[in-house]
Amino acid sequence: MWPRPSPSSKPLVTTVAIIGAGPLGRWLALSAARAGFSVLLEDVLPGNLHHAQEFIRQQLSAEAVPAVVFASTIEDAVRDADLVIDCVPDELESKLEILWLLDRMAPPRAVFATPTTRLSIADLAGCTYRPERCIAIAAEPAALAAGAGPAILLRTAPATAPETVALLNRFWRQLGFTPAFECAPAEPGVPIAASLLQL
Residue 166 has pLDDT above 90, yes or no: yes
Q: Residue 149 falls within a domain, yes or no?
A: yes
Q: Residue 150 falls within a domain, yes or no?
A: yes
Cα torsion 42, 43, 46, 47 to 10°: value is -110
Beta 15-19 vs 38-42: how paired, if at all?
Answer: parallel
Structural domain tally of the chain? 1
Read off the pLDDT of residues 64-89 as tens digits, 9 standing for 90 and up: 677 899 999 999 999 999 999 999 99
Q: Residue 87 falls within a domain, yes or no?
A: yes
CA separation for the pair 143, 164 (Å, rounded): 24
Q: Residue 197 falls within a domain, yes or no?
A: no
Q: Residue 6 falls within a domain, yes or no?
A: no
Higher pLDDT, 6 or 104: 104
Q: What percent of the chain has pLDDT over 70?
A: 84
In angstroms, the Cα distances linking 58 to 23, 30, 66 are: 15, 10, 13
CA separation for the pair 48, 66 (Å, rounded): 19
Higher pLDDT, 189 or 120: 120
Q: What is the pLDDT of residue 186?
A: 59
Q: Residue 9 falls within a domain, yes or no?
A: no
Read off the pLDDT of residues 28-37 as tens digits, 9 standing for 90 and up: 999 999 999 9
Name the residue range of residue 56's domain: 15-190
Q: What percent of the chain has pLDDT over 90?
A: 71
Q: What is the pLDDT of residue 13?
A: 79
Residues 6+ apart with CB under 8 A from 158: 122, 183, 184, 185, 186
Q: Residue 199 falls within a domain, yes or no?
A: no
- Give the CATH number, domain containing residue 134: 3.40.50.720
| This prediction's pTM | 0.86
Rounded to 5 degrees, what are φ and ψ at 179? -80, 140
Beta 178-183 vs 196-198: how paired, if at all?
Answer: antiparallel
Residue 150 has pLDDT above 70, yes or no: yes
Residue 118 has pLDDT above 70, yes or no: yes
Average pLDDT for 112-120: 94
- The burial of 41, by beta-carbon neighbours within 10 Å (0-12 exposed, 13-18 middle, 19 or more buried), is given as buried
CA separation for the pair 172, 165 (Å, rounded): 11
